[in-house]
Structure 1
Amino acid sequence: MGELLHERIDVRPFEGARSLPSFIGRTYTLYETRILGRQCVIVAKLDETGTPADIAKHIDLVRSATHATVALATMTISAHNRSRLIGQGVPFIVPGNQLYIPDLAIDLREHFRAPRLRQADGLSPAAQTVLFHRILHLDRHMTTPSLLAERLHYSAMSIGRAFDDLVATGLAETVRHGKERHIHFKEEGRPLLKEATPLLRSPVRSLKFVRGDALSAHLKLAGETALSHLTELSSPRIDSFAVAASDWKVISQTADLVETERDEANCIIETWSYDPAALSDTDAVDVLSLYAQFRDHRDERVAMAADQLLENLPW
């Protein structure tokens, strides 16, 4: 690491370990150092046990107690767990292989290849919709803004900006044929999703606790309701449905859906950053949007159900 960063890195045992919960000391070995002038605490783990969600909580505990940059160090890390850690915002070090500490603007992964340009806050809603449309193979011939706009319920200008976002992340490239701009993804199917996973964002903007007949509004099943229909997860107490945030006001008035207190609600309405009907022709929202919503859920049962969604896709 020192050779890569062109500075001497002196690592020593962390002297403040006694100020941390005792289980941290039993689970990890802690070190301290300075990297690029910043105090850093290295939380070392010899194996890859423990879920990314648990590790993220432990890293947050150390960060809160030390007010330092905190990074996980491990000898091995699977591609799946790497994506989950990045999604949780957990810095990590794999000696001789990978170094990811966004607090210090360091992102050197896959044998220190030059990192692609990433958007700090993930894909835009329109870009994520275009990406999911491609992976779900809804229509491989839709590669221009004008064709995708009608299907995905966006303007052609918004789809053009989504193309720019996807090109900036390195996931795709565009070429012109005459006056038309076409998008071409550099991967397909599971490899494309794997590459895009750190950039995915939950489509859910807000939750509305509602009384009324959501079925009469012909909304898509969503949330844990949809997840339970598609996996082995138990059904929730009340059903969830999804609607584009921009459509909520009109639909709530038309279908007489009234917001109320949680205990009085007979359904939950999720307002989404994009139209849930654009990616699904079934009664439920699409599986990739569900995966983006629940892949890092704090309840491990829900996170595992989200992973199961991918296994059921016809890759």
Structure 2
Amino acid sequence: MFDFLKTIFGANIDVSEFDYPDKTPFFIRDGYKIQILSWKKSRCVLLSPIDSSWRLPTLKKQLTKFQEICDFPCALCLENITSKQRRNLIESNIPFISQSQQVYLPFWGCSFLEKFKAETTVPDKMAPGTQLVFLYLYYLKTTNTTNLTQISKELSLSKATCTRAIDDLTASGLITCKTEGTNKWIAPAFEKPEFLKKGYPRLKSPVERLIYVRASFHDAALPKSGVIALADISMVGADEQDGAAAISKKGGAGIPAAEIISEQDFRDFGGRILEVWRYDPTLLANGGRVDDISLLLSLKDNPNERIQMGLDDIREKHELPIKYEE
């Protein structure tokens, strides 16, 4: 960013730390990193929001408040902006600089390149990687923040997939991101019950397809799923043909062809059902079965009333609306 500023204002521009004025309110001290930008004999104070999920009306209001107590001209320093945000800031006469090489410092000069952050479109349903990251954050026992590197490592996801997930969840208001140096710290924007309720309408069944295998096929690492998993935590009964285990897409593709049977052979002679999931079920599994919310999603459209009553145990546990009243 500052290399770009040097191409505009020359090599004699410099940035350094700046002490907060005595009357600086807490929302500025806690919410912004502040620096002083010097050019020849002129100085300008830059306010960089720590939370990357900022809202433009809030930034404009808080900059105006800070300008009232600061002796120098003030400007926002933003990581990226859209073309609509740039237009709004200029129309509001709010000075700013952006890493997308947008500079509006009317007391010094202006420069604009048509290079903007792409606006994130939030789809009706989460992508599998996004849903996995959302559930991972929901199940975290600690309320401390985590970062992209930790999530990528814990879930064996690529950095690109994690970045897309975080962009989606940030754009939908479900998580907050705070930048510290090269780290982006991520945390749910709501407490656990509310976090799940806000995101639940965008979740979908993790089951992509079913595979029927011979009864002799066994993999102890596969967590129980379907009705047999629900039977472990509710009064629902399960029979042999309800038995199912969850497997990742990669694991499903590696099943030997000799072990796979048709659905009719399964009905006639028995065997096992494997649910092929859109994300790895073992990453969230607990106690030898798939996680509660994924199990609920996989069975929520089942028309069987006894199953829905069993699912109400999960709904009640996680403070979701129950479906059946006794």
- The TM-score bracket by the shorter chain reads 0.5 to 0.7
> Identity of aligned pairs, percent?
26
Tell me if 1:241 matches 2:245: yes
C-alpha spacing 1:186/1:136, structure 2 compared with 1 (3 Å): same
- SS in structure 2 of the partner of residue 311 of structure 1: helix
Is the 8 Å Cα contact of residues 124 and 165 (structure 1) preserved in structure 2?
no
In structure 1, what residue type is equivalent to 2:260? Answer: V
Residue in 2 that maps onto 1:300: 305
Residue in 1 that maps onto 2:186: 183
Q: Deviations over 1:85-123 (max 9, x none)?
A: xxxxxxxxxxxxxxxxxxxxxxxxxxxxxxxx7522x11
Is the 8 Å Cα contact of residues 244 and 275 (structure 1) preserved in structure 2?
yes
Cα deviation for residue 214 of structure 1 reads 4.4
Is the 8 Å Cα contact of residues 295 and 306 (structure 1) preserved in structure 2?
yes
The structure with the larger Rg is 2
In structure 2, what residue type is equivalent to 1:258? Answer: I
Give ranges in structure 1 of 5+ residues lacking alignment. Answer: 1-116
C-alpha spacing 1:298/1:130, structure 2 compared with 1 (3 Å): same
Is the 8 Å Cα contact of residues 133 and 279 (structure 1) preserved in structure 2?
yes
Give the structure-1-normalised TM-score.
0.57
Residue 134 of structure 1, aligned match among 127, 134, 137: 137
Give the structure-2-normalised TM-score.
0.55
Distance of 1:310 and 1:139 partners within structure 2: 22
Residue in 1 that maps onto 2:285: 280
| Residues 94-113 of structure 1: pairs in structure 2 closer than 5 A | none
Q: Deviations over 1:47-71 (max 9, x none)?
A: xxxxxxxxxxxxxxxxxxxxxxxxx
Distance of 2:142 and 2:281 partners within structure 1: 17
C-alpha spacing 1:230/1:297, structure 2 compared with 1 (3 Å): same
Tell me if 1:230 matches 2:243: no
Distance of 1:154 and 1:138 partners within structure 2: 21
C-alpha spacing 1:303/1:181, structure 2 compared with 1 (3 Å): same
**Deviates most, 160-169 or 299-308:** 299-308
Is the 8 Å Cα contact of residues 174 and 184 (structure 1) preserved in structure 2?
yes
Give ranges in structure 2 of 5+ residues lacking alignment. Answer: 1-120, 321-326
- SS in structure 1 of the partner of residue 247 of structure 2: strand
C-alpha spacing 1:282/1:142, structure 2 compared with 1 (3 Å): farther
Is the 8 Å Cα contact of residues 153 and 275 (structure 1) preserved in structure 2?
no
Residue 224 of structure 2, aligned match among 212, 221, 243: 221
Distance of 1:228 and 1:247 partners within structure 2: 25
Distance of 1:193 and 1:181 partners within structure 2: 22
Find runs of 4+ consecutive structure 1 residues off by over 6 angstroms. Answer: none
C-alpha spacing 1:149/1:257, structure 2 compared with 1 (3 Å): farther
Is the 8 Å Cα contact of residues 135 and 188 (structure 1) preserved in structure 2?
no
In structure 1, what residue type is equivalent to 2:253? Answer: K
Cα deviation for residue 310 of structure 1 reads 3.4
C-alpha spacing 1:180/1:245, structure 2 compared with 1 (3 Å): same
Residue in 1 that maps onto 2:274: 269
Cα deviation for residue 212 of structure 1 reads 3.9
- SS in structure 2 of the partner of residue 307 of structure 1: helix
- SS in structure 1 of the partner of residue 240 of structure 2: coil
Distance of 2:316 and 2:200 partners within structure 1: 15
| Residues 1-315 of structure 1: pairs in structure 2 closer than 5 A | 118-120=122-124, 122-138=125-141, 140-141=143-144, 143-238=146-241, 239-250=243-254, 252-253=255-256, 257-261=259-263, 262-263=266-267, 264-312=269-317
Q: Deviations over 1:209-252 (max 9, x none)?
A: 111444435211011111111111111333100001122122x1
In structure 2, what residue type is equivalent to 1:257? Answer: E
Cα deviation for residue 142 of structure 1 reads 6.2
Residue in 2 that maps onto 1:28: none
Number of matched pairs: 197
